[in-house]
Structure 1
């Protein structure tokens, strides 16, 4: 699989195609919910939450880099993540999103997604869904790529729901991204 390939959700695909298709559909819907907004839209909140679309975009960029660079391979997650003192500022990405333009936020997220696609493709080429990650949990276990993909799908599902509510409050946009044509399996 080419590192830039966007996998569609097949009607009757295998495990890899289905997991990647669900993840890509969630990414696409999330991007649609956050796209085309100005700084005010990216900073809008629904009371009593302090969550914003900009914060969600920056948070998911962090989660992409953390999951598929650091947790999967033990690699440095790169800028800006590796220069943050997370112990003293654990909500840095949420707090600083308002300092970034919508274009900067979307570029940060899109770049993280591209790196994740490349890391996932590498793992699939070198060991498949059973590729064991670098991360070791306190109980001594290490999640494999299958588990990491399931966790990332859950992360997007939860946060796309948040984005859906915030976006509806901004301009009434509701629903899902229009489905794409899927080649026959």
Structure 2
């Protein structure tokens, strides 16, 4: 596999042939977890790049899942866990106006009406907010501002692990969708 080494914020990072930063081989807990999350984020970006609106709406029968839906869903998940749960922020547009009780899959369904630039921008902005929350957090053990009904709150460590799992699962879907569109395959 072709790799390039780049220096970012004083750190050496290996970038693979698809432009994905490789997780560090020997780093602290926070850098390792963030390395794996950044790799998963970059995988989604790679699977969705260069596609037009029709491609982002394409499905693989019998599923109604689309790459555009993945971008919008993961935008929501980024904001939901980092900004809302961990930092305690109010919902931002477009999440603040969705009627989640009558349409719990709103982000998936509504993505078919959104242009590619909007979907990519929505996702990039949500990721940027999540990165900012991570930068400001004192440590991975810090608990989220919001709590479950029983009073328990997830730690930032739990949220990071959950986000890695969320991206990894959906990147498998993205592989199938992208291959059905133009035959592009890859890990």
- Answer yes or no: same fold by TM over 0.5: yes
Matches within 5 A, 1:1-185: 9-123=23-137, 127-176=138-187
Q: Shift of residue 84 of structure 1? A: 1.3
Query: Where does residue 183 of structure 1 map in the other structure?
Result: none
Residues 137-160 of structure 1 show CA distances to partners (whole Å, capped at 9, x for unaligned) of 233311000000000000000000
Structure possessing the higher relative contact order (Cα contacts under 8 Å, 6 or more residues apart): 1
SS of structure 2 residue aligned to 1:23? helix
Residues 117-142 of structure 1 show CA distances to partners (whole Å, capped at 9, x for unaligned) of 0011111xxx3001100221233311
Distance, in Å, in 2 between the alignment partners of 1:69 and 1:128 is: 16
Distance, in Å, in 2 between the alignment partners of 1:61 and 1:155 is: 12
Distance, in Å, in 2 between the alignment partners of 1:86 and 1:173 is: 34
* Structure with the largest fraction of strand: 2
Aligned Cα root-mean-square deviation (Å): 1.7
Q: Is the 8 A contact 1:8 1:20 kept in 2?
A: no
Query: Where does residue 5 of structure 2 map in the other structure?
Result: none
Unaligned runs of 5+ in 1: 177-185
Moved beyond 3 Å, runs of 4+: none
Q: Shift of residue 85 of structure 1? A: 1.6
Unaligned runs of 5+ in 2: 1-8, 14-20
**Which stretch has the larger CA shift, 86-95 or 55-64?**
86-95
